[in-house]
Amino acid sequence: MKADILLGLQWGDEGKGKIVDVLTPAYDLVARFQGGPNAGHTLEFDGRKHVLRSIPSGVFADGGVKVNIIGNGVVLDPVLFAEEARALEDEGLDLHARLHISTKANLILPTHRLLDAAGERAKGASKIGTTGKGIGPTYTDKVSRHGLRVGDILLPDFEQRYHRLRDEHLERLAAMGAKVDVEAFEKLQTAWLDAVKYLATFPIDETEYLVNDALNADKSILCEGAQGTMLDVDFGSYPFVTSSNTISAGACTGLGLAPGRIGKVYGIFKAYCTRVGSGPFPTELMDETGAEMRRIGHEYGAVTGRERRCGWLDLVALRYAVMIDGATDLIMMKSDVLDDFDTIKVCTEYILPDGTRTDRFPFSAGDNAEGPGDIVPVYKEFKGWKTPLTEVRSFDALPQEFKDYVAYIESVVGVPVKIISVGPDRTATIMR
Ligand code: GDP
Ligand code: IMO
Ligand code: MG
């Protein structure tokens, strides 16, 4: 058996949570491999809506998936984890029976969040617009070999280790001129240490063995990405990125899977583009059309509630993402959001500041903090389908104009669109 990966091809929020939930019945294990509570994955079924941040989107499967894994590549905030896990257990979900956490996942400390905020303040106008969850500082500690890991919470001297790292962080915060309110901090710390005790009640395992043993026993695995390829720390629009490898290779390092063990790579994208936080966005629409996409698509962050920036589908960026990820199957989301548009545009090329045209994602696309900046997108126009798609359940029943749009994307990207999503609910999904 091979492990399949599902990941975002754009700037996150493509609809990963919904599709993992849809695909879950076909898998024995679902595993998160990177990111942390910066993610917000929305699932809707039976008239209910759930937003998952650290917990894999396979936990709701009825009798289907037995094992959900938080892999070594993930960064975990015990407080946010406890909040999320307790809410699910209050609803009657036996999470302790279906969740395993890697000993090697790094812990987000309260001071990591303070460092995240202080770092953003120090950057001023050129801030990244992070989710404020301490993601960057936690991965920084991991790479600089300072971090605390989930397995450490079982050690007798865990609290001493915690205090050592906390004190280092407090010194760094003081050097950055950040004021720490002692009383408020004490409260955060107490809550964190309590949450660590709760975390310790879950199965904490060498999950690299769990996933490899599962494949050897012919069990199937779906690896669930967080964020999106254009937010990857290496290949995204650096420095306006997250701090992990969001690309398919991240599933190998984030779970302990060798490259040869990877099967399908599902690349998921919206029928248009969105981005939250700062950073270049070549097809961003600053006008009424962008506002309409935001209104119809409810484009507000699932974690922070921030407005998501909106624009037309960017095939230069999409093709780049498909190449880096080796996507084998595409999934197009939120098709219904474009139902009312007379004309639909897709960007096929960029015109660079020196006048050259290119269909390759340029290094310089990382320089500007907002909007298209110096890049001029070249668009191809399509006639809108002007038909509500949300009730459609078969590919054949989709309007011809929509099929033309899909066929064009496939011809440019070179990978088939296998699933089309026409609404937030589990059932609003067309398999091809
Ligand atoms: P994720 O982070 O990739 O899991 O995506 P988010 O949950 O942050 O954002 C996707 C949003 O779009 C959620 O509010 C979903 O409920 C919603 N959604 C997913 N698929 C569709 C769809 O096909 N149509 C519409 N209208 N909404 C969708
Ligand atoms: P899901 O998994 C969209 C963005 C932030 C910011 C940048 C860095 O729901 O798709 P960070 O807090 O990671 O240091 O922020 O990355 N970002 C996301 N944008 N969806 C996400 O996750 C994101 N996680 C981080 O807005 O621009
Ligand atoms: Mg999201």
User: For 225-267, how does the pLDDT look when each residue is reduced to its tens digit (9 = 90+)?
Assistant: 999 999 999 999 999 999 999 999 999 999 999 999 999 999 9
Q: What is the pLDDT of residues 76-118, one digit of tens each?
A: 999 999 999 999 999 999 999 999 999 999 999 999 999 999 9
Q: What is the pLDDT of residues 272-288, one digit of tens each?
A: 999 999 999 999 999 99
Whole-number Å distance, alpha carbon 42 to ligand 1 midpoint, is: 6
The verdict on the CB of residue 227 being under 6 Å from ligand 2 is yes
pLDDT category at 305 given cuts 50, 70, 90 is confident
Cβ neighbours, 10 Å, residue 35: 29
The verdict on the CB of residue 8 being under 6 Å from ligand 2 is yes
Q: What is the pLDDT of residues 189-214, one digit of tens each?
A: 999 999 999 999 999 999 999 999 99
Query: Smallest Cα–Cα separation from 264: which of 228, 220, 213?
Result: 220
Share of the chain above pLDDT 70, in %: 97
Whole-number Å distance, alpha carbon 379 to ligand 2 midpoint, is: 27
Q: Would you state the pLDDT for residue 364?
A: 65
Q: Would you state the pLDDT for residue 299?
A: 97
Whole-number Å distance, alpha carbon 122 to ligand 1 midpoint, is: 33
Of residues 64 and 378, more confidently modeled: 378
The question of whether 41 is a catalytic residue gets the answer yes
What average pLDDT is seen over the chain?
95
Atom of ligand 2 nearest to the CA of 226: 2
The pTM assigned to this predicted structure is: 0.97
The verdict on the CB of residue 290 being under 6 Å from ligand 1 is no
Q: Would you state the pLDDT for residue 372?
A: 66
The question of whether 77 is a catalytic residue gets the answer no
Atom of ligand 1 nearest to the CA of 337: 26
Least confident span in 38-47, 80-89, 151-160, 370-379? 370-379
* C-alpha distance from residue 338 to each of 19, 243, 273, 313, 401 (Å): 19, 32, 12, 11, 12
pLDDT category at 301 given cuts 50, 70, 90 is confident
Q: Are strands 29-32 and 221-224 parallel, antiparallel or unpaired?
A: parallel
Rounded Cα distance, 402 and 190, in Å: 54
Of residues 193 and 61, more confidently modeled: 193
The verdict on the CB of residue 130 being under 6 Å from ligand 2 is yes
Residue with CA closest to ligand 2 atom 27 = 277
Q: Is the pLDDT of residue 65 over 70?
A: no
Nearest ligand (C-alpha, residue 299): 1
Mean pLDDT to the nearest integer, 40-46: 96
Residue by residue, what is the 3-state secondary structure of the chain? Answer: CCEEEEEECCCCCCCHHHHHHHHHHHCCEEEECCECCCCCEEEEECCEEEEECCCCCCCCCCCCCCEEEECCCEEECHHHHHHHHHHHHHCCCCHHHHEEEECCCEECCHHHHHHHHHHHHHHHHHCCCCCCCCHHHHHHHHHCCCCCEHHHHHCCCHHHHHHHHHHHHHHHHHHCCCCCCHHHHHHHHHHHHHHHHHHCCCCEECHHHHHHHHHHCCCCEEEECCCCHHHCCCCCCCCCCCCCCCCCHHHHHHHCCCHHHEEEEEEEEECCEEECCCCCCCCECCCHHHHHHHHHCCCECCCCCCECEEECEEHHHHHHHHHHHCCCEEEEECHHHHCCCCEEEEEEEEECCCCCEECCCCHHHHCCCCCCCCCEEEEEEEECCCCCCCCCCCHHHCCHHHHHHHHHHHHHHCCCEEEEECCCECCCEEEC
Whole-number Å distance, alpha carbon 219 to ligand 1 midpoint, is: 28
Q: What is the pLDDT of residues 314-355, one digit of tens each?
A: 999 999 999 999 999 999 999 999 999 999 999 999 999 889
Residue with CA closest to ligand 1 atom 17 = 424
pLDDT category at 374 given cuts 50, 70, 90 is confident
pLDDT category at 219 given cuts 50, 70, 90 is very high
Atom of ligand 1 nearest to the CA of 422: 23
Q: Would you state the pLDDT for residue 44?
A: 96
Q: What is the pLDDT of residues 166-182, one digit of tens each?
A: 999 999 999 999 999 99
pLDDT category at 134 given cuts 50, 70, 90 is very high
Atom of ligand 1 nearest to the CA of 421: 23
